[in-house]
């Protein structure tokens, strides 16, 4: 197995939603099918340990996310699709990297700083109240995910850019102190389609609870789309596309000419009820077959387990010998 041209991880906390599809799944599915690229996609279940303490939720989310990616067409034969916790080399590398990561670098992490700031505004005497070492060291585990497979490009959302900078920093430090083994990975942020608006117009996100799950029933998909907030303009009044959540979701799925045609109908004053119904029909058409496949997969978790185990075998073809090289270069090796 070759090192990764593309690599990205999905934290297994939550149910896959339309925003995940547009921002992460759809571009990854496309890359996964390219015979000239080696891409690695994994379920970051060790990362999810930091975010919640509910074992059932973690396990369920792992199953749902794996099923969603497969149902939406991930080519798991051509790419490497695995679960982080099936690769014991990742936590081993995490420790090695931890020993060379400056604490000051971690102090500057946005997520950690936000938690400290939260504590300070709530007037806690301890600025680190409730903050675990897992949260603090999160970027090092992420660096290990990436460096374990010497990934060249890492597609992520904007909020992860700082983690990539840290990864490069840590890799450079290893290369400098021990041996030049690591490629410095490049971040890839898709500005155009990475943020989808949710039910209330803010970014669609689990934490805002404003998301539309990918694989709920058809009925529920329709009722959620009907709930999307709009203004009170009457039918036939011209409407603005730029500030419209319905339009932005439509645009994320439709092609250019369909989008232009819809713009025209906004100028002509399409009624909100009509637009909602059309948006539902459009998205439902795209999700219909994958939904069927998803339901099948969810009934057969053993099949998913099998696919992930196979992916881990492929990934470890790379990680086992590479970790051996890393250990040798730091002086942890056979004595004779
Ligand atoms: N931290 C990422 C997120 O929350 C998930 C992730 C874990 C990841 N490991 C990674 C992304 C390695 C890219 C590469 O979105």
Atom of ligand 1 minimally distant from the CA of 138:
1
Q: For the chain, which domains are there?
A: 6-195+300-329 (3.40.50.620), 218-296 (1.10.240.10)
pTM for the model:
0.95
Distance 157 CA to ligand 1 centre (A): 9
Ligand 1: centre distance to CA 44 (Å)? 7
- What Cα–Cα distance (Å) separates residue 39 from each residue in 36, 134, 314? 10, 27, 12
What is the 283 CA–ligand 1 centroid distance (Å)?
27
Ligand 1: atom nearest CA of 141 is: 9
Task: Give the tokens for residue 31.
Answer: 């890359």
Atom of ligand 1 nearest to the CA of 142: 9
**What are the Cα distances from residue 157, in Å, to 19, 95, 131, 263?**
11, 26, 23, 27
Q: What pLDDT is attached to residue 195? A: 75
Q: Which residues of the chain have pLDDT under 50?
A: none
Does residue 53 contact residue 282 with C-beta atoms inside 8 Å? no
Q: Which residues have CB under 8 Å from 121's CB, separation 6+? A: none
Q: Of 131, 126, 91, which Cα lies nearest the Cα of 111?
A: 131
Long-range pairs, 47-50, Cβ under 8 A, ≥24: 47/9, 47/11, 47/12, 47/84, 47/138, 47/141, 47/142, 48/11, 48/12, 48/13, 49/134, 50/132, 50/134, 50/135, 50/138
* CA of 10, closest atom in ligand 1: 5
Please give the distance, rounded to the nearest whole angstrom, from the Cα atom of residue 138 to the centre of ligand 1. 10
What are the pLDDT digits (tens) for 58-111? Answer: 999 999 999 999 999 999 999 999 999 999 999 999 999 999 999 999 999 999
* Ligand 1 centroid, distance to 127 Cα (angstroms): 26
Please tell me the predicted confidence (pLDDT) of residue 290. Answer: 98
Residue nearest to atom 4 of ligand 1 (CA): 11
* Closest ligand 1 atom number to CA of residue 151: 14
Q: Rounded to the nearest 10 degrees, how much is the dihedral formed by the CA atoms of 247, 249, 250, 252?
A: 120
pLDDT for the residue numbered 318: 98
From 19, 27, 47, the mutation candidate for ligand 1 (largest count of ligand atoms within 8 A of CB) is 47
Ligand 1 pocket by Cβ (under 6 Å): 7-9, 11, 44, 47, 142, 145-146, 154, 156, 160
Separation of 163 CA from ligand 1 center, angstroms?
Answer: 9
Query: Which atom of ligand 1 lies at the shortest distance from residue 7's CA?
Result: 14
Task: Tell which residue, 285, 181, 268, 208, has the closest CA to residue 233.
Answer: 268
Q: Tell me if residue 137 falls in helix, strand or coil.
A: helix
CA of 268 relative to ligand 1 center, distance in Å: 43
Measured CA to CA, the distance from residue 29 to residue 79 in angstroms comes to 10
Sort 122 into a burial class: Cβ within 10 Å, 0-12 / 13-18 / 19+.
exposed
Q: How many A from CA of 241 to the centre of ligand 1?
A: 33
| Dihedral Cα 174, 176, 179, 181, nearest 10 deg | 60
Nearest residue CA, atom 10 of ligand 1?
Answer: 9
CA 252 to ligand 1 center in whole angstroms: 23
């Amino acid at each position: 197995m070759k090192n990764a041209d593309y690599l990205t991880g999905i934290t297994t906390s939550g149910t896959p939603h339309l925003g995940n599809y547009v921002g992460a799944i759809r571009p990854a599915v496309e890359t996964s099918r390219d015979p000239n690229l080696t891409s690695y996609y994994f379920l970051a279940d060790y990362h999810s340990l930091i975010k919640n303490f509910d074992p059932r939720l973690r396990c369920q989310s792992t199953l749902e996310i794996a099923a969603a990616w497969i149902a939406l067409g991930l080519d798991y034969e051509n790419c490497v699709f695995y679960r982080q916790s099936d690769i014991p080399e990742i936590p081993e590398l995490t420790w090695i990297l931890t020993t060379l990561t400056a604490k000051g670098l971690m102090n500057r992490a946005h997520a950690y700083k936000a938690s400290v700031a939260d504590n300070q505004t709530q007037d806690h005497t301890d600025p680190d109240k409730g903050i675990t070492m897992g949260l603090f060291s999160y970027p090092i585990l992420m660096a290990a995910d990436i460096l374990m497979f010497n990934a060249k490009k890492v597609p992520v959302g904007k909020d992860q850019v700082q983690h990539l900078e840290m990864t490069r920093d840590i890799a450079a430090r290893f290369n400098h102190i021990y041996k030049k083994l690591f490629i410095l990975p490049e971040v890839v942020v898709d500005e155009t389609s990475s943020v989808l608006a949710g039910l209330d117009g803010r970014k669609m996100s689990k934490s805002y609870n404003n998301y539309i799950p990918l694989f709920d029933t058809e009925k529920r998909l329709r009722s959620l789309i009907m709930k999307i907030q709009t203004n009170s303009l009457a039918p036939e009044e011209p409407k603005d596309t730029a500030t419209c959540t319905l339009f932005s979701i439509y645009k994320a799925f439709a092609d250019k000419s369909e989008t232009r045609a819809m713009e025209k109908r906004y100028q002509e004053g399409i009624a909100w009820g009509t637009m909602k119904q059309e948006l539902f029909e459009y998205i439902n058409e795209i999700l219909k077959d994958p939904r069927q496949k998803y339901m099948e997969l969810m009934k057969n978790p053993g099949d998913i387990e099998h696919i992930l185990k196979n992916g881990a075998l492929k990934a470890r073809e790379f990680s086992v010998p590479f970790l051996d090289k890393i250990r040798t270069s730091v002086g942890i090796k056979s004595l004779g």
